[in-house]
């Protein structure tokens, strides 16, 4: 079958198609159609020739097959050191083979490549740190995902996710109206406890524009309120855009580069419209990757930088604590063993580990913070990165993948895990559900609110009765 009604080479571009694909529960028919989907080998080879240049070709060619990458990969380690989980094997037997065969591959090859690209690599980039030749297989798997996506070989949820970005410019069906309503609702809901609390929408020339993850307004609106409370506490002049507020990119996980561009241009459009001094993104790893690290390139910006300074939430929190904009009540500091999850996307891939540790120094009493081993740039993926958390078909593999983080956390002896990243937060929640090791996990925002000293003028006034 050349093209199915669900599994095909066309991206989702309108609401109707999106709802239609969503109606195929769990992608049952989608995957059945995919088993018959033709590979457009000419288009595949043309695409490889156009995009697989010097760096990737050299990586594929000079790999010494030394196996030093094996131990670097958490999926290799937690799958009983299965040789088929060695990063070099995974990429050589998929992308490498595809290039060697000049794109002449069949449906079975593509489906196997899809399994490898989305269930055997989270694009955490750790293997690149262990390869003597500097071969970053995470980067290559991300590239492979793009080739597979263009041919229709992508997990159902991620085709939907990329479609969401194309239709709503958000990873979930949150419209501008929904979003603005949520802001108003949250400001009102918390106004009694926090008099004067506002969530200013489309304020021009603010000091800060805040961007976030669609699941915050969709499923965790209190997260939006918490961000507002902390900006309020810190006395910041801030705003959120009515359009261009969604910072994440499931299209990055899907390999839909066009959707990636569309989404990031929406965010940069908001920056140009509202002219904030700087932008702060929420506690999310891949959102930061998508908008601050990779985004400028998708938008074709030659300097590789966003239009204005664009920082991660942890950078702002560290600054707010350092400058005293937010003060922590010493009596409320954490006094139990606590550990910290380093998100691959902004620690390994953007060097922000020092900021999270600076935050720890303010909110955790000396002697209670326990590092995971290894940590910072060398930390392991939470087990659910790169879209792994969201793909139903790969849930069993994902659950195995959580073992690495489980064991790392158990070794610290901590019962509280600070996870300033949505994906990591989910993975740690799921590992507790799956393995019941008796831990709690948290973003920074609720911890900070519970510990911050509230200045008198921001406290609710006593009723004059």
Partner 1 sequence: MADVYSFLTGPCFIVSLAVFFGGLLFRFVRYFYGLDWRLERVAYRPWLGDGIKGGVHSAFKWLIPFGTYGWRAQPFFTVCFVLFHAGAVLVPLFLIGHNVILEETFGFSLPAMPQPLADVLVAATIMGAFFIVLRRIALAEVRILTTWYDYFILALATVPFVTGFIARLHVGNYDFWLLCHIISGELMLILAPFTKLSHIVLYFASRWQLGADYAIKRGGHRRGDCFPW
In this structure, are residues 141 and 91 in contact, taking their beta carbons and an 8 Å threshold? Answer: yes
What stretches of 120-201 show up as alpha helix (H) in DSSP? 137-150, 156-168, 176-189
Cβ-based neighbours of 281, under 8 Å, separated by 6 or more: 210, 211, 212, 247, 287, 288, 291, 292, 310, 311, 312, 313
Contact pick of 67, 373, 392, 460 for partner 1 (by CB under 8 A): 67
CB closer to partner 1, 71 vs 205:
71
Q: Return the sign of the alpha-carbon dihedral for residues 233, 341, 154, 48.
A: positive
Q: Cβ atoms within 10 A of the Cβ of 3, count? A: 14
CB of 336 to partner 1, least distance (A): 30
Contact pick of 31, 109, 130, 368 for partner 1 (by CB under 8 A): 130
- In the region spanning residues 367 to 406, those forming contacts with partner 1, defined by CB under 8 A, are 376-378
In this structure, are residues 9 and 3 in contact, taking their beta carbons and an 8 Å threshold? Answer: yes
CB of 352 to partner 1, least distance (A): 6
CB of 75 to partner 1, least distance (A): 13
Contact pick of 75, 88, 98, 250 for partner 1 (by CB under 8 A): 88
* Secondary structure letter of residue 152 according to DSSP: T
The footprint of partner 1 on this chain (CB under 8 A) covers a number of residues equal to: 54
CB of 287 to partner 1, least distance (A): 16
- In the region spanning residues 174 to 213, those forming contacts with partner 1, defined by CB under 8 A, are none
CB of 58 to partner 1, least distance (A): 6
CB closer to partner 1, 160 vs 290:
290
Contact pick of 10, 23, 54, 323 for partner 1 (by CB under 8 A): 54
Contact pick of 7, 21, 78, 86 for partner 1 (by CB under 8 A): 86
- Interface with partner 1, residue 70, by CB under 8 A: yes
CB of 116 to partner 1, least distance (A): 14
Question: What is the greatest pairwise CA distance in the chain?
Answer: 83
Distance between terminal CA atoms of the chain?
A: 77
Both tokens of residue 442? 């948290």
**Separation CA 319–CA 446 (nearest Å):** 18
**Separation CA 64–CA 86 (nearest Å):** 13
CB of 143 to partner 1, least distance (A): 9
Contact pick of 25, 81, 102, 459 for partner 1 (by CB under 8 A): 81
Which run of H or of E encompasses 300? Answer: none
Beta-carbon-side half-sphere exposure of residue 46 (alpha carbons within 13 Å):
7
- Residue 23: C-alpha distances to residues 17, 98, 147 (Å): 10, 33, 26
Contact pick of 3, 40, 47, 68 for partner 1 (by CB under 8 A): 68
**Separation CA 443–CA 321 (nearest Å):** 16
CB closer to partner 1, 83 vs 330:
83
Contact pick of 131, 287, 447, 448 for partner 1 (by CB under 8 A): 131
Per-residue x/- mask for partner 1, residues 257 to 296, rule CB under 8 A?
------------------------------------xx-x
Query: Following CA atoms 17, 23, 28, 34 in sequence, which dihedral angle do they give, to the nearest 10 degrees?
Result: 0
φ/ψ of 278, rounded to 5, equals -155, 170
CB of 419 to partner 1, least distance (A): 20
Both tokens of residue 100? 């060697």
φ/ψ of 63, rounded to 5, equals -50, 120
**Separation CA 42–CA 49 (nearest Å):** 11
Contact pick of 6, 39, 72, 122 for partner 1 (by CB under 8 A): 72
Contact pick of 8, 92, 251, 282 for partner 1 (by CB under 8 A): 92
Residue identified by tokens 């239609």 is 20
- Interface with partner 1, residue 219, by CB under 8 A: no
CB of 366 to partner 1, least distance (A): 23
- Interface with partner 1, residue 309, by CB under 8 A: no
**Separation CA 21–CA 138 (nearest Å):** 29
Stretch that binds partner 1, among 77-85, 101-109, 238-246, 262-270 (CB under 8 A): 77-85
* Strand order, beta sheet including 208-211: 238-239, 208-211, 278-281, 309-312
Both tokens of residue 410? 């158990």
Per-residue x/- mask for partner 1, residues 342 to 371, rule CB under 8 A?
------xxxxx-x-----------------
Footprint of partner 1 (CB under 8 A) = 51, 53-55, 57-59, 61-68, 70-72, 76, 81, 83-84, 86, 88-89, 92, 128-136, 293-294, 296-298, 300, 302-305, 348-352, 354, 376-378
């Amino acid at each position: 079958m050349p093209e199915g009604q669900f599994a095909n080479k066309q991206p989702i571009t309108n609401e109707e198609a999106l709802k239609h694909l969503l109606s195929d529960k769990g992608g049952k028919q989608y995957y059945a159609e995919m088993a018959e989907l033709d590979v457009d080998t000419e288009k595949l080879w043309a695409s490889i020739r156009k995009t697989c240049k010097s760096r990737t070709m050299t990586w594929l060619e000079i790999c010494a097959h030394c196996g030093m990458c094996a131990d670097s990969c958490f999926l290799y380690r937690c799958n009983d050191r299965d040789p088929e989980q060695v990063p070099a094997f995974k990429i050589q037997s998929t992308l490498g083979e595809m290039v060697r065969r000049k794109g002449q591959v069949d449906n079975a090859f593509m489906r196997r490549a899809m399994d490898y690209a989305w269930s055997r690599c989270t694009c955490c980039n750790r293997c690149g740190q262990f390869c003597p030749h500097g071969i970053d297989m995470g980067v290559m798997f991300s590239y492979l995902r793009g080739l597979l996506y263009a041919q229709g070989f992508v997990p159902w949820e991620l085709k939907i996710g990329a479609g969401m970005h194309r239709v709503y410019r958000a990873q979930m069906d949150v419209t501008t109206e929904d979003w603005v309503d949520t802001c108003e609702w949250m400001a009102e809901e918390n106004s009694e406890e926090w008099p004067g609390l506002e969530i200013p929408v489309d304020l021009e020339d603010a000091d800060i524009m805040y961007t976030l993850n669609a699941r915050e307004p969709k499923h965790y609106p209190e997260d939006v309120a918490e961000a507002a409370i902390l900006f309020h506490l810190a006395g910041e002049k801030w705003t959120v855009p009515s359009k261009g507020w969604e910072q994440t990119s499931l299209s990055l996980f899907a390999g839909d580069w066009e959707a990636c561009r569309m989404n990031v241009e929406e965010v940069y459009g908001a920056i140009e419209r509202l002219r904030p001094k700087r932008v702060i993104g929420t506690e999310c790893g891949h959102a930061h990757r998508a908008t601050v690290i990779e985004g400028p390139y998708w938008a074709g910006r030659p300097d590789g930088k966003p239009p204005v300074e664009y920082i991660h939430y942890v950078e702002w929190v560290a600054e707010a604590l350092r400058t005293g904009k937010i003060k922590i009540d010493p009596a409320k500091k954490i006094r139990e063993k606590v550990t910290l999850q380093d998100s691959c996307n902004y620690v390994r891939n953007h060097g922000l580990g020092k900021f999270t540790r600076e935050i720890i120094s303010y909110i955790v009493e000396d002697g209670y913070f326990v590092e995971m081993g290894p940590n910072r740039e060398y930390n392991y993926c939470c087990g659910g990165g790169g879209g792994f958390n969201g793909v139903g078909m790969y849930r069993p593999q994902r659950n195995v993948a959580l073992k690495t983080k489980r064991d790392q956390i158990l070794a610290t002896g901590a019962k509280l895990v600070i996870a300033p990243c949505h994906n990591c937060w989910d993975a740690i929640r799921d590992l507790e559900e799956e393995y019941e090791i008796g831990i709690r996990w948290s973003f920074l925002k609720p911890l900070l609110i519970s510990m911050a000293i509230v200045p008198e003028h921001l406290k609710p006034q006593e009723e004059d009765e």
